[in-house]
Every structure is written in C-alpha cells, then in structure tokens.
Amino acid sequence: MLEAVVFVLQVFYGLCALGLALYSLHAVWLVWQVRRATPVATPPTPVTWPTVTIQLPIYNERHVAERLIEACATLDYPQELLQIQVLDDSTDDTQLIVDRCVGYWRAQGHNITAVRRTDRRGYKAGALAHALPHATGEFVAIFDADFRPAPDFLRRTLPYFLTPDDAQVGFVQTRWGHLNRDYSPLTRSQALALDGHFAVEQAGRQAAGYLFGFNGSGGVWRRACIEDAQTGGWQDDTLCEDLDLSYRAQLAGWRGCYVNEIVAPAEIPPQLNAYKRQQFRWAKGSIQTLRKLGGRVWRSDRPASVRGAALIHLGSYLIHPMLLLLLLTIPPLLWLGGTPPSPIALVGFTSFGPPLLYAVGQQRLYGRDWWRGWLNLPLLTLIGMGVCLSNSLAVWQGLRTRGGAFHRTPKFRVEQRGDAWRTSAYRLPLDRVMMAEAGLLLYALGAAWLVAQQSGWMSAFFMLLYAAGFASVVGVTLWQNRPPHLLHRFHRRRFLARTDSGKYNSPLTPDGTI
C-alpha cells in the first residue's frame, strides 16, 4: 500500500513537471515565431470612413468614468459617423457622473447615450448583447473603464478591416499600454507580464497562423462577425466572454488581426487583491472556455499544430495547479522515502521559457532599454508563484461550473506616484485565501527543510522560491490593508478630488438614456 501511494505521488510529480516544461517550451516557440515574423503591413487610408459604435461597459466606476467618456468623445473621427454607448450597470453615484458627462457631450453635438438595464444578468457579456440592437455602427469598438484611447485610435485600426483582402477580418486587437507603469514595483511587474503577452504571445500566435483571443478591450469588432449565426454573438456562460467569442468567430471562418504598433493605454491595478481578483476571473473564464470549445477546436479542420497550440493557449492557467501540486507532493514523497527528481534540474527545465519571452517582449517594445523593465522579473516570478493557490481555486471552479458572478477589478484613477487609492470604497478587503497562503508559506518552508536535509540547501532553492512567493503575497496584502488611521490626511483629500471633476454639469437631455 505504501509503495502504491509513493508511485501515485511520483506520477503526479512527473505529470506536473512535464506540463510546466511543455508551457516553457511553448513560450520559446512563440519567441521564435515572433523573431522570424514580418510586421503586419499598414493598410492604406480609406476614401470613405464607416459608421462606428463605441461601447463602454461600466459598473461602479466613479473614479474613471469621466476620463473614459471624455477620451472617447474627443476621438478624431467624424461625429456624424460615430455613436457612443455607455453601458452603465452601476448601482452607486457613478450613474450621476455618467449622466452629467452624457448630457454635456450631447449638448456638444455627439451621438452619445447611457444604456441601462434593470438587472446585471450576464454581466459584461449581457450588457454588450443588450446594447448591440441599439447600435448604429458597422463596426463596434470596446473600451473597459480603465482605458484612455488615443485620439487617432479609430483612424488607425479601421483600415485593417477595409481592404478587399480583409473582408474576413472579424476583430482587430491592439496592444495595451500602461497609464501607471511606474507607480509601484507591483505595477511595473504587471506591465512586464502584459508586454510579454501582447508583444510576444499575441504577435507570435498571429505570425504562426494560430488562433488567438480578443482581450476584451482596446479593440474593434466587425458587427457582422458578432451577429453571424455561426459565431453566435455574445454569450455569458464563461467569465471570458471576449476569449469565447473570438474563438467561436475564428472557428466560424473569421480572422483576427493583432496590431502591435497601435497602443490603447490602460490603468494597471495598484492593489494586489485587485490583481488577484482580475487573475481569478481570467483563470476561471479561460478554463470555462476550454471546457466549452476544446472539443470544437480539436475536431476542427485546422492543422494539428494549430489545434494543439489553441488548447495550450486556452489551458494556460493550468500551470498554477501544476505549481501547487508540485509543492504539495514533495514533502509526502520525501517522508515516504520517495526520490523525486532534483529540484535544481526542475527549475532549469521548466522556467527558462517565460524569462526569455519577457526579455524579447521588452526588447521589441523598448529597444536598448529593454533591461530596465526586465529587472522586474524577480517580483513578477514571486507574485506568480504566490497567487498559484488563488488561481488554482479559479481553475477548479472553471472546470466545474459555467458562468458565475463577474467580480469587477476596481479602478482608482492612479496614474502617477503619490496618487492615493487606499481610502476608496472600492478597495478590496482581506480575504480567507490569504490565510491559506500564509499556511502554504509555512508548508513551503517545511518542504525546503526536508529537501535540504536530504540533498543540501542548494537543492531546496525551488521550495524557497515558493516560500518567498507566498511571503511576498501575504506581506504586500497586509501592508496594503494596514489600518486607515496610518494614512496621512492629504492622501484622502487628493483622492477625493479625483473622483469627479465637476466639469460636466450640463443636465441630461430627455433622450440621453435608453
């Protein structure tokens, strides 16, 4: 019986190590694809511009709603061809801010309306689907509340739809920029991860002819693609409605287009709990999409390499339960006399891909200064290991359930150092997961001691990385949730001053809400 338990633990250990190695090698493959790819050709400027609807899904965004609406209302695009729909499901004073902004810009001659529902059924996907019948545009641009598109965004993205060879382009995704990259070490490490995702992963998948996902914001859809019966429109049975729709569209024969040269700036979450909530939603939603579409992807007529890469993409968050299982497996294996492979070899074989991917991403975007952003890799690595429990819980829910509550990532309008956010009502409190993460910190330290006793402290490095990761997450979470009385009063005054500028005081016109 004891030997059987040891055998099962070694199988788990081996499968997790092989899975991590697979994702590491896939990252190297994407780097190779990017390095050999030719840039996407810039299409000519069209003679006539099409009609466009901009959809802005909002839920309780008092700090950033005004910034978003103003950025979209001041886009360099003919007013008579542009419609703005503010999809406002808010339940707080965001509604008043939206109404003032909508009223102001309607008085300036813009076709802008606030679209409201009686309930949040379907969350973001439900709001997008509800508003689409009221849209007048041939194309639909989507921006989440934390974005601030540049004035030339539409004039640069729409040409990718409008040449005869691009009639099957269903969506165009642009690269996300960062309004607050240098706010803190946490935001810099998130920026490094996002840069790698867009500049290498998205660009690499496109260069290789693989399926890739729409990122939910900072992009444009061809309305006919969304409404295509084979695509199926917006659906709310996953928490990644964007990934789900983009994969269904590509399986229906439409094409996606990623443009690395066009940037849509957005705000990075400054609170670690907000980042964890965002990652939880993305992890759960992507695994739900894997459950929903994995069979269709594998049965499609695409080459085996394309189908395999798509399944790896949809299952990318599986690396977190693999990391967690590795940690949980090693101590009982050692107690029972098992001999897992050397952790040093494991670290080297399973972790060289992501650092290379991030380095190439920084080099593509920032040239000779690439190393400045790449220096944030140690913290990104620790945070990535520290959130493996939270993301594993998300994967487990994604494997068992459809849809679910769409818990928004709070936005605080933090754009520069010194901007405060901890006095906001949107700040997330401590949760029970942090207590479990503290327990895993102790568990990892115990595992490191066991490995050191057997093979020396050099071999315990992998376990110490786990301990450092959980210590980082627990430490930052506690620091960011320290008692409010420790805050200086001027931070609260500066924060409240950014809630609503009061610039838009025009009353809402009678038809400003539908």
> What residues are annotated to the active site?
89, 242
Q: Which residues contact 392 (CB under 8 A, 6 or more apart)?
A: 320, 321, 324
Q: Which residues contact 190 (CB under 8 A, 6 or more apart)?
A: 268, 269, 275, 380
Contact 111, 27 (CB under 8 A): no
Contact 173, 218 (CB under 8 A): yes
Q: DSSP secondary-structure letter at 168?
A: T
Q: Which strands make up the sheet holding 52-58, listed edge to edge? A: 111-115, 82-88, 52-58, 139-142, 219-222, 169-178, 255-266
Which tokens in the block code for residue 206?
Answer: 């496109």
Nearest-5° angle of CA 105, CA 106, CA 112? 90
d(CA 380, CA 415): 20
> How many residues comprise the chain?
514
d(CA 409, CA 123): 13
Q: DSSP secondary-structure letter at 112?
A: E
Which tokens in the block code for residue 179?
Answer: 């309004």
| Secondary structure (3-state) at 512 | coil
Tell me the CA distances in angstroms from 65 to 68, 224, 253, one per residue in order: 5, 28, 36
Which tokens in the block code for residue 491?
Answer: 């931070």
**If we measure between CA atoms, which residue out of 187, 387, 385 comes closest to residue 283?**
387
**If we measure between CA atoms, which residue out of 110, 106, 101, 107 comes closest to residue 79?**
110
Write out the DSSP string of 171-232: EEEEEEEETTGGG-HHHHHHHHHHHHIIIIIIHHHHHHT------SSSEEEEHHHHH-TTT-
Question: H/E element holding 9?
Answer: helix 2-36
Alpha-helix runs per DSSP H in 300-342: 304-314, 319-335
Q: Could you tell me how far CA 319 lies from the centroid of its own chain?
A: 16
Angle between helices 461-480 and 272-299 (to 10 degrees): 120
Rg of the chain on CA atoms, in Å = 24
